[in-house]
Amino acid sequence: MEYIITAMLAEDWPQVLEIYRLGIESGLATFEKQLPSYEKWDSSHLQICRFTAKQNDKVLGFAALSPTSARNCYRGVVEVSLYVHPDYARKGIGKKLMEALIEASEANGLWCLYSAIIAENKPSISLHEKCGFRIIGHRERIAQMEDGSWHDTCLMERRSKVAGQ
């Protein structure tokens, strides 16, 4: 399968939003239930390190980073958002997007990539491990869903060997 990893553009938003919607519906990708406006999403993610995987003009997946704190001492610690359209899952797209995030984050002086993954999302945990993340903890019964069920998260991080040294 041929595709390219490229910078995310504002005009990619409708396709990015559709992939995010599918992630919400899966119940494994996020605890969010509402789709954000572009303005809300844009303001909550860094302007750097935003990528899409594209086949021609079709977005197959996307990745972006969010700050974890407004405090200056944590400026190099960011949270990963990475989603792949379910029709293209398990084809290496997530790994290529993560590799692009890692390279760009280090080039921009970010020293720690962080992810809180729904514990049942084993493919995401495996992808993170393949890309050098380690499990740093678990949060039990951290999110209660509308149906009353509880979910745990697996906390993972990747520390740069380049940035922040």
The predicted structure's pLDDT at residue 16: 98
Work out the percent of the chain whose per-residue pLDDT is above 90. Answer: 87
Q: Is residue 20 part of a domain?
A: yes
Q: Is residue 66 part of a domain?
A: yes
Domain limits for position 103? 4-159
Give the CATH number, domain containing residue 30. Answer: 3.40.630.30
Q: Could you report the per-residue pLDDT of 98-109, keeping only the tens digit for each? A: 999 999 999 999
The predicted structure's pLDDT at residue 149: 87
Q: Is residue 164 part of a domain?
A: no
Q: Is residue 16 part of a domain?
A: yes
Q: Could you report the per-residue pLDDT of 39-83, keeping only the tens digit for each? A: 999 999 999 999 999 999 999 999 999 999 999 999 999 999 999
The predicted structure's pLDDT at residue 125: 97
Q: Is residue 96 part of a domain?
A: yes
The predicted structure's pLDDT at residue 36: 95
Q: Is residue 165 part of a domain?
A: no
The predicted structure's pLDDT at residue 130: 97
pTM of the model: 0.94
Q: Is residue 63 part of a domain?
A: yes
Total domains present in the chain? 1
Q: Is residue 78 part of a domain?
A: yes
Please name the residues in contact with 68: beta carbons below 8 A apart, sequence gap of 6 or more.
74, 77, 78, 79, 114
Distance CA(137)–CA(116), nearest Å, equals: 9
Torsions phi, psi for 20 (to 5 deg): -65, -40
